[in-house]
Amino acid sequence: MASKIRTVISPGRYVQGKGAITQLGEYLKLIGDTPLVVADDLVWGLVGHDVEASLSAAGLPLHREVFNGVPSAKEVDRLVGVIKRTGADVAVAIGGGSTIDAVKAAGFIAGIRWANAPTVASTDAPCSALSVIYTDTGEFSEYRFFPRNPDLVLVDSQIVANAPVSLLIAGVGDALATWLEARATARSNSKTMAGGLPTVTGTALAELSWDVLWGNALDAIDAVQDHQVTPAVEKVIEANTLLSGLGFESGGLAAAHAIHNGLTAVEATHGLAHGQKVNIGSVTQLVMEGAPSSDIKDFIEFTTRVGLPTTLTEVGLKADDEKSLRTIAEAATVPGETIHSMPFEVSADDVVSALASIERLARGVRQRAGLPEPVPYVAAHH
Ligand SMILES: [Zn+2]
């Protein structure tokens, strides 16, 4: 592709609001006649009744398939088999980022359309035209890119507010990184996940996501503790899902997500949410950029208040564990990783130094701001 082409991509339709799930059937009817709904048992227990009623009201048949938990190549291929057997013409993911990534990948291979109804606002997976595929044990394996985004993304705000607040918090971590990474990509004029150079549109949406979160995240988190949908909650759901989704895809990823991918290579971080690991990537990227110390301080203070990890301790690591930090840094800097979209060259050594430095840095910032000491994270054994 010509090197100066800019592009922005997006889902066909985005729907959000309290009770939106009751309109799922109506919107799906515009896309296909035979939906295959994929959801794990926990999610199905929460929303199955409403989904069934909505599809039935729209005159659509209901085929539901269980999602097995990890968006691995094996799980994707299994879902392709189910799509073929049921003759479905639209695959519908209901659940979190893992379900959504598996269904997008399966829908693409099966050659049918796909739609997402995220039940949490914890990642920016729902709107994009790519899936992150993991190994069966949860290590990052590959990005798969598709020629189009979902035809429909439908978010019921009440369902999101009913979910544990930790999921919304993780989504804020994922979405804050969007602007840091889009800004770096714009500076280096590198290719985005959409396959061209960034547009001013993609970059601006990433920045808007950042502004909305700084203004509303703390209020939204308070409201969701009590499962209330307030205007701040609606704004944060939109920032986490739509703005960050468009912003990361058409604005570009850089160091924060590459470091996230690196973190998944170390068992001590397993079990943490995507957005928690991404936040460690964001702090590390700011250090590598040599960002103004007041910016770094503000980011550490704000994301600590949000409830995100800002130290190695909180993701199961230690600053003097050279071996683990080296493993993370090597994985984060493999050829093709988005860390090479930074406006300067990044080596594994640079990543090790930046990662090792954030422990003392973040502890100092937190102490001076009167924020709590980090609580160590201990991964469950496999
Ligand atoms: Zn992400």
Q: Which residue in 187, 191, 254, 203 sits closest to 4, CA to CA? A: 191
Residues of the chain with pLDDT under 70: 1-2, 381-382
For position 137, what pLDDT does the model report? 85
pLDDT for residue 76: 97
Per-residue model confidence (pLDDT) at position 224: 98
Are residues 21 and 154 in contact, defined by beta-carbon separation less than 8 angstroms? yes
pLDDT at 149: 97
The pLDDT value recorded for residue 2 is 54
Give the model's pLDDT for residue 380: 85
pLDDT in tens, 91-106: 999 999 999 999 999 9
352 CA → ligand 1 middle, Å:
21
The whole-number pLDDT of residue 140 equals: 87
Name the residues around ion ligand 1, CB cutoff 5 A.
Answer: 174
For the full predicted model, state whether its pTM sits above 0.75: yes
Q: What token pair was written down for 229?
A: 């949908």
CA of 22 to the centre of ligand 1 (A): 28
Ligand 1 centroid to Cα of residue 98, in Å, is 12
CA distance 244 to 350: 27
Residue 282 C-alpha to ligand 1 middle, in angstroms? 11
Query: What's the gap in Å between 211 CA and the centre of ligand 1?
Result: 18
The residue with tokens 């057997």 is 85
- End-to-end Cα spacing for the chain: 44
Alpha helices in 30-72 (DSSP H): 41-57
104-150: pLDDT as tens digits: 999 999 999 999 999 999 988 999 999 999 999 888 899 999 999 99
Residues 355 and 259 sit within 8 Å (Cβ to Cβ): yes
User: Residue 17: helix, strand or coil by DSSP?
Assistant: strand
Q: Which residues are catalytic?
A: 174, 257, 260, 274
